[in-house]
């Protein structure tokens, strides 16, 4: 199992093999591509649940450390849960962190239903599917959706 860490590059974009060095906004580090925000506190990178506004400082200097990542609660404070694997990071990003508007779990779901059950074009779904690296026609998705349902106290 590979343990993942924060090294100044956006951990979400890294999942798609894109390197985007996070930049300082007012208080946090923010990704110029997907607006994910990170707060460095006590040698940990806390991934915030809400996205930044793209208000990045002009004097560009990236974060230069390598630190473990952790979740934050709704209150933006660390909840002490460490993010150690890509799989866990994906689940956290999908179900806890505010989505980038163009790509969202709702868009993923809706475009899938359109293509699968309403006979519409598959391409919008494939774009979402590629972004999240999730294919509903693949069995692994059931585990992830099961976790989400458990998290939200939904039945199957
Ligand atoms: Zn990013």
pLDDT class of 101 with cuts at 50, 70, 90: low
Ligand 1 centroid to residue 56 C-alpha, Å: 14
Ligand 1 centroid to residue 90 C-alpha, Å: 13
| Cα angle 56, 62, 67; round to 5 | 120
Ligand 1 centroid to residue 121 C-alpha, Å: 28
Ligand 1 centroid to residue 155 C-alpha, Å: 32
How large is the average pLDDT for residues 131-150? Answer: 74
Query: In the predicted model, is pLDDT for residue 143 greater than 60?
Result: yes
How large is the average pLDDT for residues 47-59? Answer: 84
Q: What is the pLDDT of residues 15-39, one digit of tens each?
A: 989 999 999 988 899 998 889 999 9
Ligand 1 centroid to residue 10 C-alpha, Å: 5
Query: Read out DSSP for 28-64?
Result: SEE-TTT--EEEEETTEEEEPSS---S---SS-----
> What is the model's pLDDT at position 140?
66
Ligand 1 centroid to residue 111 C-alpha, Å: 23
Ligand 1 centroid to residue 33 C-alpha, Å: 5
pTM for the predicted model, two decimal places: 0.65
Ligand 1 centroid to residue 37 C-alpha, Å: 9
Beta bridge partners of 46: 39, 70
Ligand 1 centroid to residue 84 C-alpha, Å: 18
Q: What is the pLDDT of residues 55-99, one digit of tens each?
A: 787 767 889 999 999 999 988 889 999 999 999 999 999 999 988
pLDDT class of 150 with cuts at 50, 70, 90: confident
What mean pLDDT, rounded, does the chain reach? Answer: 86
> What is the model's pLDDT at position 146?
74
């Amino acid at each position: 199992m590979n343990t993942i860490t924060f090294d100044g590059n956006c951990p979400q974009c890294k999942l798609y093999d894109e390197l985007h060095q996070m930049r300082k906004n007012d208080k946090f580090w923010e990704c110029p591509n997907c607006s994910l925000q990170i707060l460095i506190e006590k040698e940990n990178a806390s991934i915030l649940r809400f996205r930044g506004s793209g208000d990045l400082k002009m004097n560009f200097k990236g974060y230069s450390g390598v630190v473990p990542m952790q979740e934050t609660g709704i209150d933006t404070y660390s909840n002490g849960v460490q993010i150690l694997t890509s799989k866990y990071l994906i689940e956290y990003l999908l179900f806890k962190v505010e989505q980038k508007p163009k790509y969202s779990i709702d868009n993923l779901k809706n475009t899938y239903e359109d293509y699968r059950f309403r006979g519409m074009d598959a391409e919008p779904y494939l774009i979402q599917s590629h972004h999240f690296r999730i294919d509903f026609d693949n069995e692994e998705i059931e585990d992830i959706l099961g976790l989400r349902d458990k998290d939200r106290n939904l039945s199957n």
